[in-house]
Every structure is written in structure tokens, then in C-alpha cells.
Amino acid sequence: MSTVKTKFINDPEQITAELLEGYVLCYPDKVKLAGENIVVRANPKAEDKVAIVTLGGSGHEPALSGFVGEGMLDCSVVGDIFAAPGAQRLFQALQLMKREAGILLVVLNHSGDVMSANMACQLAERAGINVKQLVTHDDISAGIGAPAADRRGLAGCVPLFKVLGAAAEEGKSLDELLEIGKRFTDKVATLAVATGVCTHPQNNALISDLPKGIMEIGMGQHGEGGGGQKPLVSADETATEMVDLLCQQLKPAAGSKLMLIINGTGATTQMEHNIIFRKAYRELEARGLQVVSSRIQEILTVQEQAGFQMLIAVLDDDHILYLNDKKADAPYWTTIGK
């Protein structure tokens, strides 16, 4: 553990509160705080529509609160750095969002988040709140075809917020949203690669161990080990290997329409992400697959960890409509709409 200070923070215990305060001050027309570490829309959705809620630790900015806004999330419940918020805070948010139409709670498959969600949903049920859970598990690093329970939630939650948010604005019911979301999560796969370490901002400890010039495919969002380390290969070789693994998982039929996202996790340049995207797109094209929705952006980071996540989703027509044509107005995902 290093004692050299390298980050612009103040009191390490106040990081989450301060970063959320800065965030809502920056985007006051879109988001506001509705309680300690609970971010909601500045202009709430009509009460007769289903609310989309999520939860997760801070330290992954802009995720997850960056996607609160019209056509995406209604509420993000934030824990401390890399830590799930407690069940009580989540229950408090569910009470705030309570409505007859119901609440869809998106949970990334990480043990702390799942535990908080289950406990809060039990409390909510007793309080007469209509809430259903949708768990994401897009990480394929546990192995091709591994059971959903073994697969963590990575950046796949973000386009899911876009799909669900757009469908909820249209007035879809809770059961319809659950079906639309489940169909999306069943067909999205993400793979991470890391090439550099990051430090935990509260204690300066390295959260992983990766020598310079070494890459690790499959590293998780908190430094969990992946598929082994090897010397860095070229952008094209990396993209080809990752596309191949993701296609092994998804098995897209020829002619399938896909989403392709390169999500920067921290210190890797967008220059590199563009070069990776280029080869991934060309590889998919060569397999007879068509990219119809795409994005190169830091949507879910791991502090300053160098590397990125590659996300591929096989899309239905209604997912394409919700992703590309419907308006979204969150601070870190804006779609003008058609």
C-alpha cells in the first residue's frame, strides 16, 4: 500500500457524497438528490408509468447514476466505493418510487448488490410495494456457456437501462418490461481486458496486479482475476480474440443485427478504443453480422484501470427501436430520437 497521494479527493470517507453533490450541481436540469446517495430525475416520470431503479457502488463513474434521466433510469441508489448500498437505503428509494404501475429493479450480478436487492425487495413486499428484479450477468469470463449465476454484471446494464427506459416511457407494464429486458439480457455478452492497475481511492491499495506491458482478458470490475496474463498483443489481434469469444457465447445467426460497444474502463485512450472498434466491426462484418447500434465511451469505469470492455448484443427489432429511435436525456446518454 502506497502512501503517496495520487488522486484529487478530500476526506476519503466523503468521496461518494462529494462526487454525487458535484454531479447533481453540474446537471441540475436532469438529476437531483432525493436522500443520502439516492439520485433521481429532476423532472420525474408520470406516476402511471413503471419506474426503473438500479443500485451499485460508486467509483465506476459515470455509472450508474450518470444514466438517470428521461428515457433511462428513474433512480440510482449508490453505495460507497465498490460497495453495494445497504438494503435500508434501497428500501428507502423503493418507497420514494412506489406506484401502482410498479418498479423494475435492475441488479448487476455481484453478491453485495444481490443481497441488498433481495433484502430490500422483501421489505418492500411487506410494505405493499410492487417491485420485480431483473439481474444482469453479461460477463463471459467465467467460461462460454457458464450458468447465469456465475456470470457477473458488467457494462451490459447501461444499454439495458436505455431499452427499459424507452419502453417504460411508452407505457409498457411491469410484466412486459420484465420480458423485454430479459430478452435483451439473454442476448448480451461482455468481455473485459485490463492492461494497467488502479488504486482504491480510500486506501491507495492496488486493486489488481498487472506488470507494465501485460494484458489480462476477463478481469472483473473490482480486479477479480480473468483468463490469465500475457504480453500485450496488437489492437487487431485483441479485437479478433474478443469478438471470437463473444460470438462463441452468443452464437448469432448470419444476418443478425448487433449492438457493439467499446466501454473504456479508465486510463486507456479513446484513440485505442476507436482502433479496437474498427477491427471488431470488420470481424463481425466478415461473419455476415450487421452492427446497427454502437458507441465508444467510458460508460462504466474501474477507477483509472487501463483497458476496456467489449460488449456485443444480438438485437430484436423492438430493442433497435428503443436503443436508436427513442429519446433519452440522461447526462451521459443522450439520444435525440426520431
User: CB 49 → a copy of itself: shortest distance, Å?
Assistant: 19
Compare residues 59 and 86 and give the one whose CB is closer to a copy of itself: 59
Query: Annotated catalytic residue: which of 60, 110, 273, 319?
Result: 60
Compare residues 2 and 122 and give the one whose CB is closer to a copy of itself: 2
User: CB 149 → a copy of itself: shortest distance, Å?
Assistant: 30
Compare residues 8 and 228 and give the one whose CB is closer to a copy of itself: 8
Compare residues 151 and 273 and give the one whose CB is closer to a copy of itself: 273
Residue 128 to residue 96: CA distance in whole angstroms: 13
Active site (annotated) includes residue 60: yes
> Omega before 252 cis (within 30°)?
no
Interacting residues of 221 by C-beta distance below 8 A, sequence separation 6+:
60, 110, 152, 154, 192, 265, 300, 302
User: CB 211 → a copy of itself: shortest distance, Å?
Assistant: 9
- Which region holds residue 19: left if phi is over 0, alpha if psi is between -120 and 50, else beta? alpha
User: CB 192 → a copy of itself: shortest distance, Å?
Assistant: 13
What residues does 296 pair with on adjacent strands?
Answer: 262
Report which of 158, 161, 171, 167 is spatially closest to residue 326, judged by C-alpha positions.
Answer: 167
Residues that bind a copy of itself (CB under 8 A): 2, 4-10, 15, 18-23, 25-27, 58-59, 61-62, 195-196, 201, 212-213, 231-232, 234-236, 238, 260, 266-279, 281, 291, 294-296, 298, 301, 303-304, 306, 327, 329, 334-336
Report which of 6, 166, 146, 18 is spatially closest to residue 78, judged by C-alpha positions.
Answer: 18
What residues does 307 pair with on adjacent strands?
Answer: 194
Query: Annotated catalytic residue: which of 137, 200, 222, 319?
Result: 222
Compare residues 5 and 126 and give the one whose CB is closer to a copy of itself: 5
The DSSP output letter for 21 is H
User: CB 217 → a copy of itself: shortest distance, Å?
Assistant: 12
Rounded alpha-carbon distances, angstroms, from residue 235 to 232, 275, 276: 9, 7, 6
User: CB 333 → a copy of itself: shortest distance, Å?
Assistant: 9
Compare residues 71 and 86 and give the one whose CB is closer to a copy of itself: 71
Active site (annotated) includes residue 110: no
- Positive or negative, the CA dihedral 175, 179, 184, 185 is positive
Residue 327 to residue 325: CA distance in whole angstroms: 7
In Å, how far from its chain's centre is CA 252?
A: 22
The helix (run of H) or strand (run of E) holding residue 272 is helix 270-286
Report the catalytic residues.
60, 222
